[in-house]
Amino acid sequence: MTWRSVILRFVRLTAPRRRPGLQAMLGATLMMALVGTVGIAQAGHALTPWRNSLLYNGLLVLTWAIMLLTPVALAAGSALLTYHHMRHEAYQLLRLTELPQPALFLMHISASLYRMRVLAAIMIGAAPALLVGMAHSTRVWLQRTYPTMMLSTLRYAPLPPPVYSPPIWRLNLLGWWPELAGWAIGVPGIGLLAVVFGVGLTLLWQRVEMAALAAGILALLLGGLTLGLLPALPLENLSKTAHVILTAGLATWPYLSSLGLAAWLKRWA
């Protein structure tokens, strides 16, 4: 029996029964993305510079909350689940075998993600709705701020100079920048990074409360700080190549960091 099959057996053993499988969760993720995107798009079409929409604002706030707070829940949940798995009889028996430490650490991460796959599916499905909602919000703000401006179909069309503080001006234009899409793609990676932290800190400290709190705070800070980079950077002066590089960096750094952090923390499995 290979260590991969051992991990799979442990994940299934520690997971409660009668929960949706991975195929069902994939379908639910796609359905949520479709329904959320269509819903917020329809609500956004009713927006004008002089008329607001309570439904649109509510949906937009909900999607922002899901994207920012779900990694926190994943971080805290991974710490709690790891502590539970450490006390499981099957895990104690596995530690007596020759199963390598990387496999034990991967087993904790896999079991945590499997147990919290519903949260992960909700977060991934909310990303397209957030991008569509922010595009509508930015369109209305541009029409209100620059009523005589013809919005170009070009993605990187020149924009008028800021009418007030540049960071606040860029924040109102958040839906205009392609970097927001890179951030939204990277948020599930921040959730994965938070899970790795939650598992590693629990194994290291053996104190689930401290590990859950530290991993949750870290997840919130990473999501907020990377988002805060967008209004802080002079995005309006960047070239197309710089926009592509920055967008790709925001989308990929959490996943690469997760791999590096897991390789470092595996020694405490």
pTM, rounded to two decimals: 0.81
Q: In sequence order, which residues have a C-beta less than 8 Å from that of residue 102 and are 6 or more positions away?
A: 263, 266, 269
Give me the DSSP letters along 230-246.
HHHS-GGG--HHHHHHH
Q: Cβ(203)–Cβ(246) under 8 Å?
A: no
Q: What is the pLDDT of residue 55?
A: 75
**Which pLDDT value is given to residue 156?**
45
Consecutive 10-residue averages of pLDDT for the chain (269 residues): 52 53 60 66 60 75 90 92 78 69 82 85 87 84 71 53 78 88 92 92 88 91 90 87 94 92 77
